[in-house]
Structure 1
Amino acid sequence: MNYTIHQLQIFLKVVQTKSITKASEELFMTQPAVSIQLKNLQDQFEIPLTEVVSRQLYVTDFGKEIAIIAERVIQELENINYKTQAYQGILTGKLSISAVSTGKYVIPYFLSEFLEKSVGIDLVLDVTNKSRVVESLKNNEIDFALVSVLPEKLSIEEELLIENKLYLVGNHAIRDENKPLIYREEGSATRLAMEKYFEVHQGKKRKRMELTSNEAVKQAVIAGLGYSIMPLIGIQNELLNGQLFILEEEDLPIKTEWRLIWLKSKKLSPVSLAYLNFIRSEKQKILTEKFNWYLKY
């Protein structure tokens, strides 16, 4: 046997994505390079690790067993690095955070200085939909979640970060009533806030358009396809460039809070505690330096 750590890492990514194409994208490698490394690993086993059926890649039972072992091997190698750094007096470990999609405009600013000062910490940041964020938190797969609406039936602790403000926006300063409202997908916190608002103020209107990401909604509004209620945090450049306009409406903006949450029963690691202490001590400074434009609205 003469397989490499690199081959095991590539194989694990293929197992996770069930696709050479997706694995290559996430690894920033070409598809042929991934395929070659996967073949080099496979050549060392007489039993197939993967198989292709109707152009779909499947991991065999043997491959799944090898993936479990490979994951342990790679984790132990990471532990060696962490342990080495710990002996050098460096705070080490992994910090895992899952954020709802619009949270990508918030969380980086609450991480950058912490990571600059903590070179021994590896960050795993998953920006995804609300359902996946809550599921990751519920299954104890992450240290923290960033949300604007608290999940139901979960006992959690929280640290407030910044107010979340949602405005009605369009690509002109005057609203054309003939154009439709553009909604996020079911389960989105922004979608829920938008539905509640229009149910109270204009009755239940048939939605005309539904898009699955905040960025897609933003581009649709810029293109003039309709109007939407959107988080202010994600449209700074478009407001400055005159691509989007805030439309004055009764009882807007809708306000919630961006908050970092974690399971109440979770025993926080030294890395998690260090990050929480950083947030509590530096939050006001971050708000003043990074979100001054936002706080003025």
Structure 2
Amino acid sequence: MNFTLHQLKVFTTIVENKSITKAANELNMTQPAASIQLKNFQDQFDIPLSEVIGRQFYVTDFGKEIFTIAQEILNKTKTIQYKTEAFKGLLSGKLKISVVSTGNYVVPYFLNGFLKKHPKVELVLDVSNKTTVIKDLEQNLVDFSMVTVSPDHLDLIELPIMENKLVLVASKENKIISQKGTDKSIFKTIPLIYREDGSGTRHTMQQFFKQEKIAPKIKLELTSNEAIKQAIIADIGVSIVSLLSIKNELHQNELKIIPAKGLPLKSVWKLIYLKKKALSPVAKAFLEYVELEKENVYNNYFSWLDTVEM
């Protein structure tokens, strides 16, 4: 056999995309060039790796086994690259982080300086809801997760980063709030928009309502922070959202904060990771960077939070 690393890369990318065309686009190749590389790789085996039925690409059972081995070979070559760069004094490797959706307003400001300092580091960032983020952490698919609510069932180490404030928000055109006042009882009558089940924001809201013995009037559930903001702007209802997420909407005078009793709700953004996890040099460096720079990052990018009237 005389296959090349390039052929392995083309083959694994095609399998991952289940499409030669999509793989070619990802690899910046033409579709015919990718097909030729796949054929040259296939010709070295007596057993088919794949088949095309109609226009659908399928991987054979044998092809799936070769795919797994090819991934291992490619990962080993990356390790060689990382080791070489480490000996030259360059930090390299993958940094894998999962972030709850609202955390996407926080984590880029910590990654910005770190990635500029270490340009050889490859970032894999997944933004999802709390349930998915914790599942990724539990299955050891990531180095860190960024959350405000930590799971109770995992043995973790936590690095607090900054405070998170949740505020009651309504459309600038909303007239109901001014009629009802700011007592907690308004939650029993105003139409409230909830995040989906599994969201950290929803969990914090529910804890507040449970503690205050309030049965809120739920208008609807939405699965993203952006969808909630648009629904509030359209005056479909009100919601409790992270102050971090509405900077532009406040500046553009599309939303207003309602100073209700018991609010803002406060939690803490934190990086969490498994206590028994052996952190890579890249992960250790990022942890040290966040610890060292978190105050500077807050002052440079988030000091506006302290000036908002609530």
TM-score range, shorter chain: 0.7 to 0.9
Q: Residues of 1 paired with 2:14 and 2:193: CA distance?
A: 36
Alpha carbons of structure 1 residues 169 and 82: separation in structure 2 relative to 1, 3 Å: same
TM-score (norm 1): 0.85
C-alpha contact (below 8 Å) 1:51/1:60 kept by paired residues: yes
Alpha carbons of structure 1 residues 36 and 193: separation in structure 2 relative to 1, 3 Å: farther
C-alpha contact (below 8 Å) 1:99/1:125 kept by paired residues: yes
Paired residues in the alignment total 294
TM-score (norm 2): 0.82
Q: Residues of 1 paired with 2:32 and 2:99: CA distance?
A: 32
Q: CA RMSD in A?
A: 3.1
Aligned match for 1:210, one of 221, 240, 261: 221
**Counterpart for residue 130 of structure 1:** 130
C-alpha contact (below 8 Å) 1:18/1:57 kept by paired residues: yes
Matches within 5 A, 1:1-297: 5=5, 8-9=8-9, 11-13=11-13, 15-16=15-16, 27=26, 37=34, 40-41=37-38, 44-45=41-42, 47-50=47-50, 59-172=59-172, 174-176=174-176, 180-201=191-212, 203-297=214-308
Q: For each residue in 1:74-96, what CA deviation from the matched residue of structure 2 results, as whole angstroms up to 9, or x when unmatched?
A: 21232232122122111222211
C-alpha contact (below 8 Å) 1:93/1:122 kept by paired residues: yes
Q: Please say which structure displays the higher CA radius of gyration.
A: 2
Structure 1 ranges of 4+ moved more than 6 A: 1-4, 19-25, 52-57
Q: Residues of 2 paired with 1:86 and 1:131: CA distance?
A: 35
C-alpha contact (below 8 Å) 2:109/2:297 kept by paired residues: yes
C-alpha contact (below 8 Å) 1:97/1:124 kept by paired residues: yes
C-alpha contact (below 8 Å) 1:167/1:252 kept by paired residues: yes
Amino acid at match of 2:38: L
Q: For each residue in 1:267-287, what CA deviation from the matched residue of structure 2 results, as whole angstroms up to 9, or x when unmatched?
A: 222222221111111111111
Shift of 1:103: 1.0
Q: For each residue in 1:173-201, what CA deviation from the matched residue of structure 2 results, as whole angstroms up to 9, or x when unmatched?
A: 64537762211111111112223334455
Q: Residues of 2 paired with 1:180 and 1:21: CA distance?
A: 47
3-state SS, counterpart of residue 291 of structure 1: helix
Q: Residues of 2 paired with 1:7 and 1:184: CA distance?
A: 45
Identity over aligned residues, as a percent?
Answer: 46
Alpha carbons of structure 1 residues 133 and 52: separation in structure 2 relative to 1, 3 Å: farther
Q: Residues of 2 paired with 1:28 and 1:44: CA distance?
A: 16
Unaligned runs of 5+ in 1: none
Alpha carbons of structure 1 residues 40 and 28: separation in structure 2 relative to 1, 3 Å: closer
Shift of 1:55: 8.6
Unaligned runs of 5+ in 2: 178-188
Q: Residues of 2 paired with 1:53 and 1:184: CA distance?
A: 42
Amino acid at match of 1:275: F
Q: Residues of 1 paired with 2:32 and 2:258: CA distance?
A: 51
Alpha carbons of structure 1 residues 61 and 291: separation in structure 2 relative to 1, 3 Å: same
C-alpha contact (below 8 Å) 2:20/2:35 kept by paired residues: no
